[in-house]
Amino acid sequence: MPTLYLLIMGVALFGAGIGILFYRAAAQRGTAEPLAEWLADFSVASYEPMKRVLDESEFEFIARQPGYRPYIGKMLRRERKAVFKMYLRRALRDFNRMVSIAKLMIVYGEESKAGFARALWLEQMKFYFTIYALRSRLVLYPVMPGTWDVGGLVNTLTRLSQEVQQLAVPNPAAA
């Protein structure tokens, strides 16, 4: 019986932990710009440079240049790490804003969007997990460099952006 209680407590604590992490990630939205204007100006293309920020080939290229010193490489990596962190923060904010718009469309929609709502929830879980995984790896950078594949994040933003646009198109059968 005590094992059962411990198991229940463990499951409850794990669930609470996941809930807190989810809430913390979802709460980052930023309110500087009105959403309507932000949606009109949003472009996924602005995330293209993110794919190259921590690209090892760039550091290797710099290292081959005349006058290179190890401290230059360290400084560059530190700065690039800060830039990558900013990109992650921005990606999370933009994703959350997109999710907020999608939720508004779900709530105020005339037709049920249960399938989309379910997919949106799964996208959120995957996106936040990716963000947390990248942040955790970033803590150890550059001790553990490796490749930084952010294609998944950018693809998610692209897909969500397209889905939000599609939600605005009414059902052709109803037109």
Partner 1 sequence: MLALQLAGMLCLAFRLFHARLHRIYPAFAYLQVFGVVQWVFISTTYGTPYYVSVYVTTSALSTVIQVLIILELYSRILRGFSGIASIARTYTYIALTISILISLVLVRLEKTPVSFTAHFILYRRSLISTLVFFILLMLVLLIYYPIPLSRNVAVYFAGYTVYFLCTSTVLFARNIGIADLPVINNALLTIPVLCLFFWAIVLNPRGETTQITIGHRWNRDDEARLLQQLRAMNSTLSQTARK
Give the range of 27-35, 44-52, 66-74, 128-136 binding partner 1 by CB under 8 A: 27-35
Give the range of 58-66, 78-86, 126-134, 167-175 binding partner 1 by CB under 8 A: 167-175
Which residue number, 53 or 120, has a Cβ lying nearer to partner 1? 120
| Separation of alpha carbons 93 and 103, rounded Å | 15
Which residue number, 71 or 108, has a Cβ lying nearer to partner 1? 108
State yes or no: cis peptide before 70, omega within 30 of 0. Answer: no
Give the range of 34-42, 60-68, 127-135, 147-155 binding partner 1 by CB under 8 A: 34-42
List, as one string, the DSSP characters of 89-125.
HHHHHHHHHHHHHHHHHHHH-SS--HHHHHHHHHHHH
Q: Is 173 near partner 1 (CB under 8 A)?
A: no
| Separation of alpha carbons 23 and 73, rounded Å | 37
Q: Is 126 near partner 1 (CB under 8 A)?
A: no
| Separation of alpha carbons 2 and 152, rounded Å | 43
Would you tell me which residues interact with partner 1 (CB under 8 A)?
5, 8, 31, 34-36, 39, 100-101, 103-114, 117, 168-170, 172, 175
